[in-house]
Structure 1
């Protein structure tokens, strides 16, 4: 009995074809449904009724007896009969060819896709190829599977040239190079990574004697193929559509590196990248949490005003320890990596978040109903903890504070030292015969001498007084220079004492403002003069003259001094030569306060405006409008871009120095004019005519002892 692969296909053999008229005659006598089901646009590769043994055309009738198909004389062949494609006639199974099964999804490319791997067909096409590499058949299916008219057939195994087919070629094969270029286009578009790959031994589409070109290496010039006509469906490479997710696509390089190299790589990443590394794996999480990585991240924020003073770590441990010998042994400065930088970074980020909120914070009473409803949808802003300190018997004109204490001057002619943490009065000094209008001192003088090499000091040295420097100005026209002393105490804050070192007499009017640095003491007065003193010798070095009214405030930066006067002008001076460098004019009324840091100058005026100036060019960079009365005091940090101002309108405002926008506003802190204001990374401290000192603390619940 013949097998399906041995059935002679008329598509492959020219001598088995009849002429067109004869074929049309057979088609007219065939069952219409049977012919319709077994023919296709490409020319059917399967058995049709014209190929069956015809006995006076009755072989196609449903009533034909089973023995009519007894080819080998065996009457039992009827048992091997079956319906073909649902037709009414039955044909021997030996004369049928089963249509190949539909593909099923698989991750193996040789079992999914009509583009089948068939290494045998290329033994006919390229008989000299000796390798057994599987190749994509691209439509060159073996005999008994599929026929494409006009393309290489089984006769290529004999002649190596395509034989002419009497069948009418398919429309899709005659227009735009047919289905094969279309398959290639689909593969090329679906698999971008494979554009440049060619398997050796695959014939080109334009070989000699055919419609294809073969390269010498057997590769195909796909780039010159024409596109499809778009009539048939897309054919997509299953390798592009189905990816084996179980395949290993890479390796964890970071985990295989030495720890030192892995940490060095992580140190170049920014914060979002480090946070992403924390979620990759346990190994990445351990590396990304390393102390050295977060120290680098913290150091990058120094340009934004983030700073740490490691000396305070030993001081904090000393204060918390009841054992004085243990305190002495802990007085050394810790190594940088002994600090938990991850915790410091989180704490400082939270601290900055508490500062930055929408401008209407605390103004709910002034909002309309619609605005109130809109505000409820916004997360509640952080409200700082308020501490009010009382002790002065009259108006408090000036203040300065550091990490542990506040020093204030008052109209009651006294100078008081307060604990920043508890508000307790630590000391009171008297030396002026008039109101104390201004003061400056060396910040954190009691820890300034710790160098990290004194861990061997004895208990006597550990409890020795630490000496500081204080300068005050008064309405009595004098400048007093004080020696400050901090006396360490076991488990308590140091006791503060002071004595007058010198009294500087040169002004003929009240001393309204002061500035100090490591070289100079600068004072200004109602007499319209600015005096510059040598800090070491306390001798008068120069006097700056040029204002026509009282000089209400001065600023000092290096060898330059800037002064603000009630005449509405501010002047930039050179300290060494006494020369006037530049005169700024822009305010409509007299100036009340001024700050000079780096190359920025900020002024507050009786015109209720704040102006930001470029010290080098004299240009006004921006004007901040928001206060209702005289802007009495201000201070700013050029790195963080935070500016705090206080006014006679009883408000304290926080501004963004770079954009000029209002960030926060605090009302109700004082019930009268505010005379002075200062701030650091976690507090705002203000003084007022109401005799109160108000501390707004943003660091509640946070450990900010190391921040500066």
Structure 2
């Protein structure tokens, strides 16, 4: 409370007394000294709990004189000159305060804005000071503008609205425009509250006065109100009791569930426009939304949106009759897309991506010394399951694999077929007189099996499906093979693989170092610095590409374009149809050892330990990847997922982000010697080495990845 400027007003500590149940101060006589006390609180200082001297009667009995104990708490200078008769009673308590030391409440601050245009509070101290009793000190106060100097009614309205008065009493305060508006609304508000709560339209009880009748009720003679005689609150007249004060219209907040009122097909169609975070949020809205968000069609759309990231499925691999076993469909017929559980497919594919991207170098602290404090244990990266396959008697130079088998070529002059799941050797082919340096075959050629049914016995006989494979050797030949996958002896087991030599292509003057095939062409390169292109259907030589000065170690094929990498450090892009050179790419410091060509991107590995990414149309080097310590011998990349895997003579396998050029993961200890070849798919990395081993790193342990390609 601010102090007034008068020096005579000095704060005075007023002691309090703890009134117990069984004792009472001897000098306290409530029956004898009944004062209005708080009866004028509503008429003063806007209900402030602080009393002023104006609220106290001027005729003070001497029984309220301060006690000796209270005076002892004052210093000598403050206690001198006290007259017991010149005391002021505070709230009827036994402790009294001399008038000279009574603190008077200061004037409320006058607002800087104009209040007569919108407020019902008037701040005219001169007009209002005459309305309050005991305002001898002319203390300015504020109150409701319609308060009269007379009596006050229970309804809160002044007595000049009293029904008994035929003419309204003039108010000493000039009402503002907003005050008149507020006064016109007060009867309406009273009637609305009297009629009852919004949920109860009950007639008011007899005997309960209206706002006009309530104006007849006055205070008692001493100005107080007998609240005990008032009727209790029961909520029927508009009073807010119990939970009515917190009533909330739920429909007004949540609104209407529009999706639940739509036809099922339209609601599902709307959800197909949402992304994964939004669908996951819909699962938590309600049971109806959860049911819609779990629909198979929604997750099929979400999965299809990730096709640009390499998320693809092969419906031909789906088991027949899983959802509709009573239907007899031909084995070659793929199931309808919605027969698959797309939610589980999406979940397994997402977990597979997480296992690839969770690498241990993420979040490593720069300070790895022994004295550095350990804040928390770093999360460990997912470690793929490692399977090592042995069977070749010499170095394994090349490999290819699909969803069920691995095919490798070795220095021991043989080609072996292995089970991708178990590592068991399924077949061994011998057709070269030298080391098998490269090979290629059609992936998953046996997925669609031809079936015929015996009309007499009704037994279906499965015929083997023929595949295609080519291999190149140091004996300067290219061998074309016919592969056959026979039905497994045990249901669910591995198929028996056989092969026949269809033709031997003889045109190179040196060892065949690399091969590429597609539906139309067979491209081979050799130590004789030549690239030869063969027609796949006729197995006739189409053209010979000559332009390198050293052995051509690797080639890439994309449509009718071929790119070749040579030991002379150059790459040349060729047009197969015309046989002309389109562009020469140079940038490596030493000879090139491997190359890959997919979707207008060329990735090359060199003896300078670098990997470079090129744009095939412009010949511009997009980025350079460094990290290997020795010659980069093998490369494989997927342009959709942006994943690149490399193998080097430094005995490591590295995984790179093709778009950023950063190394994602590194695998050491897989091989004990130089790595010659490496391939990968969505869930595995397979590599071969001079140590005669085939190593499979499997990221899909515990996941169903049968349909993924």
TM-score, normalised to structure 2's length? 0.66
Aligned counterparts of 2:310 and 2:277: Cα–Cα separation in 1: 20
2:646 is matched with which residue?
645
Decide whether aligned partners of structure 1 residues 573 and 460 sit closer, same or farther in structure 2, where only a CA change above 3 A counts.
farther
Matched with 1:207 is none
Structure 1 residue 140: Cα displacement? 7.8
Q: Post-superposition shift, 1:255?
A: 2.0
Distance 1:652 1:607, change over 3 A: same
Does 1:276 pair with 2:275?
no
**Is this contact kept in 1: 2:440–2:470, CA < 8 A?**
yes
Would the alpha carbon gap of residues 692 and 600 (structure 1) be closer, same or farther in structure 2, given more than 3 Å must change? same
Cα 1:386/1:139, change in 2 over 3 Å: farther
User: Quick one: structure 1 residues 244 and 683, their matched pair in 2 at CA, closer, same or farther if it must change by over 3 Å?
Assistant: same
Instruction: Give the Cα–Cα distance (whole angstroms) in 1 for the partners of residues 707 and 38 of structure 2.
Output: 93
Partner of residue 505, structure 2: 504
Does residue 474 (structure 1) correspond to residue 477 (structure 2)? The answer is: no
For the Cα contact (< 8 Å) 2:360–2:379, is it kept in 1?
no
> 1: CA distance between counterparts of 2:609 and 2:180?
82
Return the offset for 1:671. 0.2
Q: Are 2:281 and 1:264 equivalent residues in the alignment?
A: no
Q: Give the 5 Å matches for 1:511-526.
A: 511-526=512-527
SS of 1:447's partner is coil
Q: What does residue 352 of structure 1 align with? A: 353
- Report SS of the residue matched to 1:445: coil
* Conservation of the 8 A alpha-carbon contact between 1:533 and 1:542: yes
SS at match of 2:463: coil
- Cα offsets for 1:159-211 (capped at 9, x unmatched): xxx99965589xxx89xx99999xxxxxxxxxxxxxxxxxxxxxxxxxxxxxx
Tell me how far apart the structure 2 counterparts of residues 281 and 141 of structure 1 sit (CA, whole Å): 55
Cα distance, 1:433 vs structure 2: 0.9
Going from structure 1 to structure 2, the CA distance change for 1:328 and 1:533 (only over 3 Å counts) comes to: same
Contact 2:313 2:708 in 1 (8 A): yes
User: Given that residues 392 and 412 in structure 2 are in contact (C-alpha distance below 8 angstroms), is that contact kept between their aligned partners in structure 1?
Assistant: yes
> 1:633 aligns to what SS in structure 2?
strand
Q: What's the CA shift for 1:332?
A: 3.4
Determine whether 1:404 maps to 2:404: yes
CA contact under 8 A between 1:608 and 1:628: conserved in structure 2? yes
Structure 2 match to 1:437? 437
Report the counterpart of residue 316 of structure 2 in structure 1: 311
Query: Counterpart in 2 of 1:97?
Result: none
Structure 2: segments with no counterpart, 5+ residues: 1-34, 63-89, 94-118, 121-143, 183-239
Shift in alpha-carbon separation, 1:523–1:37, aligned structure 2, 3 A: closer
Q: Which residue of 2 aligns with 1:338?
A: 339
Does structure 2 conserve the Cα–Cα contact (< 8 Å) formed by 1:516 and 1:556? yes
Change (3 A) 1:477 1:180: farther
Higher helix content, 1 or 2? 1
Q: CA RMSD in A?
A: 4.5
Offset, 1:377: 1.7
- Secondary structure (helix, strand or coil) at the match of 1:297 reads helix
Written as runs of structure 1 = structure 2, the 5 A alignment for 1:206-245 is 244-245=247-248
Structure 1 counterpart of 2:305:
300
Distance of 1:464 and 1:641 partners within structure 2: 39
Q: 1:685 to 1:373 in 2, by over 3 A?
A: farther
2:450 is the counterpart of 1:484:
no
Q: Do the aligned partners of 2:452 and 2:461 also contact (CA within 8 Å) in 1?
A: no
CA change 1:254–1:533 in 2 (3 A) is: same
CA distance in 2, matches of 1:589, 1:316: 57
In structure 1, the partner of 2:582 is: 581
After superposition, what is the alpha-carbon deviation per residue over 1:121-151, rounded to whole angstroms, capped at 9, x for unaligned?
xxxxxxxxxxxxxxxxx988999689999xx
Instruction: State the partner residue of 2:294.
Output: 289
- Over residues 539-568 of structure 1, what are the superposed CA-to-partner deviations in whole Å (9 max), with x where a residue is unaligned? 111111111111110111111111111111
Corresponding residue SS for 1:547: coil
Contact 1:415–1:430 under 8 Å retained in 2:
yes
Q: Is 1:254 the counterpart of 2:259 in the alignment?
A: yes
Which residue of structure 2 aligns with residue 73 of structure 1?
none
Q: Does the CA-based 8 Å contact 1:314-1:332 persist in structure 2?
A: no
Q: For residues 440-479 of structure 1, what are the alpha-carbon distances to aligned partners after superposition, in whole Å with 9 as ceiling and x for unaligned?
A: 00000001467xxx79898776421100000001111111
Which residue in the other structure is 1:599 paired with? Answer: 600
- After superposition, give the CA deviation of every residue in 1:624-676 in whole Å (9 maximum; x if it has no partner): 11100000001011111111000000000111111111111111110000000
Task: Summarize deviations over 1:264-300 as a string: whole Å, max 9, x none.
Answer: 1211111111111111222221211111111111111
- Aligned partner of 2:392 in structure 1 is 392
Alpha-carbon contact 1:440-1:470 (below 8 Å) kept: yes
For 1:248, what is the secondary structure of its paired residue?
A: helix
Cα displacement (A) at 1:33: 9.6
Partner of 1:547: 548
Distance 1:635 1:345 in 2: 25
Instruction: Identify if the C-alpha distance between structure 1 residues 587 and 457 changes in structure 2 by more than 3 Å, giving closer, same or farther.
Output: farther
Instruction: Return closer, same or farther for 1:251/1:479 CA change in 2, 3 Å cut-off.
Output: same
Q: How does the TM-score come out when normalised to structure 1?
A: 0.66
The answer to whether 1:691 aligns with 2:692 is yes
**CA-CA distance at 1:518 after TM superposition:** 0.4
2:496 is aligned to 495
SS in 2 for 1:446: coil
Q: Hey, what does 1:377 align to over in structure 2?
A: 377
Secondary structure at 1:592 match in 2: strand
The alpha carbon displacement at 1:369 in A equals 4.1
Per-residue deviation, residues 363-394 of structure 1 (Å, max 9, x unmatched) = 99x975478956x6222211111111111110
Query: Aligned-pair distance for 1:247?
Result: 2.8
2:464 paired residue number: 465
The answer for the alignment partner of 2:683 in structure 1 is: 682
The answer on whether the counterparts of 2:570 and 2:591 sit within 8 Å (CA) in structure 1 is yes
Which whole-Å deviations, capped at 9, do the CAs of 1:237-280 have from their partners, x for residues lacking one?
A: x9xxx974343121222222222222112111111111111112
Long gaps (5+) in structure 1: 1-30, 51-56, 64-84, 89-113, 116-137, 182-237
| Equivalent-residue separation in structure 2 for 1:561 and 1:316 (angstroms) | 44
Q: Distance in 2 between matches of 1:470 and 1:139?
A: 103
Residue of structure 1 in register with 2:534 after alignment: 533
- The answer to whether the 8 Å contact 1:314/1:333 transfers is no
Q: How many positions carry a matched residue from both structures?
A: 524
Secondary structure (helix, strand or coil) at the match of 2:635 reads strand
Moved more, 622-631 or 611-620: 611-620
Residues 435 and 607 (structure 1), Cα distance of their counterparts in 2 relative to 1, 3 Å cut: same
Residues 661/245 of structure 1: CA separation in 2 closer, same or farther (3 Å cut):
farther
Cα distance in 2 for partners of 1:561, 1:396 equals 26
Q: Is the 8 A contact 1:560 1:574 kept in 2?
A: yes
Alignment of 1:136-151 (within 5 A): none
1:106: which partner in 2? none
* Residues 1:694 and 1:35: Cα distance change in structure 2 (over 3 Å): closer
Return the alpha-carbon distance in structure 1 between the equivalents of residues 388 and 682 of structure 2: 19
Deviation at 1:360, TM superposition (A): 3.9
